[in-house]
Structure 1
Amino acid sequence: MNYSLVFALGIGVLITLYFARIYLSRFKLIGEPNPLQNNHQEGNSNWQIYYFYSPRCSACKTITPVIEEHSKQYKQVSAVDISTDLALAQQFHIRATPTAVFIENDIVSDVQLGSGIGQTMKDFIEKHASAN
């Protein structure tokens, strides 16, 4: 029996399970109350977006400038560097970057992982900015 093949297959399964756990953990937060509901800056706003990134993340480097433009335009959009604000990332159970947490009426409505969050964020902002 070829043990190196069995070993490689076992390692592959463990890696797959690890990344599946990270991906599926995003669903755990959806429907939960905003961990910062008593602490948000916007006052009367019924929506918020928290974008978590790391300066070492290559996908974050392409998305972060776009998000920072949104955060200048809308007070409800917050960019959080997890290397300097780890406590906030832990409150939201962030395990990977980039991650965006979308909040409506102090309830987490969606969590997006990866480099595709830009369009989702744009659609979310357009939907809520036009409602105000």
Structure 2
Amino acid sequence: MNWLPIEVSSAIALAVAMQALMWMRAMRSVGRAAPDTSSVDGAAAEDCRRVHSAHCGPCRAIKPMVERLQLSHRDLISVDIAQQVDLARKFSVARTPSFVLVEGDFVRWVLLGGQTERKLVARLQGA
């Protein structure tokens, strides 16, 4: 019996299941009280929009975009989860980069993975 198709199918199913679990974990945090971010966001602590991303290959790729957006959204912050592990756990970050909008001390939405500037701006303006 040829096991290769079964092994490949199992690997694909496992990858899809892991992605689905990460997405479900992130969506469970929507509507929950946001953890205290004052240790990393400084001046943005009183503002309503906060976007958090982690340090990874895709994160480094979108870093220039986030820095450009920070010029017009001073309450936009970036968090390196390698340095802020506890904060990442409190936000249930399971995939990087992750974008989290905190408004009124509650998580309003979560975006997983790299985002285009247009999509991120639309989400920030729609908040």
TM-score category, normalised to shorter length: 0.7 to 0.9
Q: Does 1:49 align with 2:68?
A: no
Whether contact under 8 Å (1:100, 1:117) holds in the other structure is: no
Task: Indicate the residue corresponding to 2:18 in structure 1.
Answer: 18
Structure 2 residue 111 is the aligned partner of structure 1 residue 123: no
Name 1:90's counterpart in structure 2: 89
Helix, strand or coil: the match of 1:16? Answer: helix
Gaps of 5+ in 1: none
Q: TM-score, length-normalised on structure 2?
A: 0.80
On the 8 A contact 2:22/2:94 being kept in 1, the answer is: yes
CA 1:18/1:125 → structure 2, altered by over 3 Å: closer, same or farther?
closer
* 3-state secondary structure, aligned to 1:90: helix
Instruction: Supply the distance in 1 between the matched residues of 2:104 and 2:33 (Cα, whole angstroms).
Output: 9
- The number of residue pairs the alignment matches comes to 125
Given residue 74 of structure 1, which amino acid in structure 2 is its aligned partner? H
Q: CA deviation at 1:121?
A: 2.8
Match of 1:4 in 2: 4
Q: TM-score, normalised by structure 1?
A: 0.77
More strand by percentage: 1
How far has the Cα of 1:73 moved from its partner?
A: 4.3
Q: Could you report, residue by residue, the CA deviation over 1:38-84 in whole angstroms, capped at 9, with x for unpaired residues?
A: 77644543x12222121x31x22231112123334433211011122
What whole-Å deviation, never above 9, does each CA across 1:6-45 have from its counterpart, x for those lacking one? Answer: 2222222112111221122221111111112777644543
1:90-110 deviations in Å (ceiling 9; x for gaps): 111111111100122111111
Q: Which shows bigger deviation, 116-125 or 8-17?
A: 116-125
Relative to structure 1, the CA distance from residue 88 to residue 72 in structure 2 (aligned partners, 3 Å threshold; closer, same or farther) is: farther
Query: Per the alignment, in what secondary structure is the counterpart of residue 50 of structure 1?
Result: coil
Identical counterparts, % of pairs? 20
